[in-house]
Structure 1
């Protein structure tokens, strides 16, 4: 049975540590700014540069308003955390193998053009961490707000996670792609990676699970096994 550090908790939601109001404002603004930059910087440069910019826009203010205490988010993953990351990668793969044909059979496009773009593995190293932060920042903000007014930790985690997954799905919505498709694949599908963070409180563990997933899909696409 896998075991995790029960003494480790989510940051900020119970003022552990306290995040300033201006800090929350800037962090929340950094999310749409980073997403906008990722879609447009690459047009003028390349995927590698846009992935780095994507990550820097999110991680620099997060670390700054956390007094550069990266241990609040990242630590060297334990053996059990690595096992969980791999298990959730496999779980997502099985889920997508079941869900994608069902969506295709119903006439709903399962992916959009943005997901089909072939980008380098090196770019994924940066963009996948950025995507984890795109989920992490609103998740912690919602958890803070809900816990402040309800004092119910479990309910706050569940509701915050649900809203975050819907948000993550919606940012993948593109013309010609059905809402149901992104809600089921990018939204509900991301629950597997989010679960890794919820269990470990270690963004590096959920990042590895997410990275394995996208790297596997990219490699399969490059080999022509998955259509682009």
Structure 2
């Protein structure tokens, strides 16, 4: 009973707090999470992060830069069938997920937590903010600097059955992104005097760079587009992770982002 009373008072206090107080509360919460993430990363062996990053990078290069996956899967399934698309996405995500689980199964709660309604709402908000930022940067490059943007073939040829591909494949992309982030962060934890905020943001920028460059084959090696339009806006996912400490939240944000991009692309064709 006392617990319910205290929770009710806390909710009431949140309702009457000013915008400045709300901002201060969220900043403090994010900083506290930064410290927790930093200290947790410190106690996980370096070789685990290195193995995960190398494995994710190799799988990504094989998946995007070669036709090895298609050559193997075409022997057991018809191309463009739903079964084939699911297998193809699994070919990318499953090896990464299995290695991740094997390496971090004892620390799995550090990375993945139960998704809540608040996490879901935040993921949707971050996805919307990310696509607004990406569209602004793309527009600036095209109309301000006369850069050419390369279309994403999977988006322009999207069909309803492709949703299964996105659901599976984007989890693999999240593992790649955050394997780069945690590997970089682990290097910063070796300092005698930790610089929590700086370490996290530099690690986040490195993850964005890796994530952007991983799309080179998909966007015909348009480096500027991959780094600035795709990689840079992904820094918002770091904010989401710092807020929720839940990779399911960043995964949902990524899924919502891609679905919004599909809707925008097809709306422009109508």
1:174-213 map, 5 Å: 174=217, 177-213=221-257
Q: Deviations over 1:88-127 (max 9, x none)?
A: 1111122233222222223312335456464501110111
Deviation for aligned residue 1:83: 2.3
Whether 2:96 is the aligned partner of 1:58: answer: yes
**Alpha carbons of 1:143 and 1:19: their partners in 2 closer, same or farther (altered >3 Å)?**
same
Asked whether the equivalents of residues 19 and 65 of structure 1 are also in contact (C-alpha less than 8 Å), the reply is: no
**Contact residue 53 and residue 176 of structure 2 kept, 8 A:** no
| Change in CA separation of 1:176 and 1:129 when aligned onto 2, cut-off 3 Å | closer
**Residue segments in structure 1 that go unaligned for 5+ positions in a row:** none
The structure that has the greater radius of gyration is 2
TM-score, structure 1 length as denominator?
0.83
Q: Which moved more, 1:147-156 or 1:135-144?
A: 147-156
Give the SS at the match of 1:111.
Answer: coil
Aligned residues of 2:131 and 2:261 also touching (Cα < 8 A):
no
Q: CA deviation at 1:146?
A: 1.2
Alpha-carbon offset, residue 140 of structure 1: 0.7
- For 1:42 and 1:116, locate their aligned partners in 2 and report how far apart those are by CA, in whole Å: 19
Q: How many residues align?
A: 222
Corresponding residue number in structure 2 for 1:139: 181
Structure with more helix by fraction = 2
Aligned to 1:77: 115
Q: Superposed, which structure 2 residues align to 1:108-147 within 5 Å?
A: 108-113=147-152, 116=155, 118=157, 120-147=162-189
Which residue of structure 2 lines up, in the alignment, with residue 13 of structure 1? 41
Q: Which residue of 1 aligns with 2:131?
A: 93
Q: Shift of residue 38 of structure 1? A: 2.4
- How far, CA to CA, are the matches of 2:104 and 2:220 in structure 1? 40
Gap runs ≥5 in structure 2: 1-21, 74-83
Once residues 156 and 217 of structure 1 are traced to their aligned partners in structure 2, the CA distance between those partners, rounded to angstroms, is: 31
Question: 1:170: how far off?
Answer: 1.4
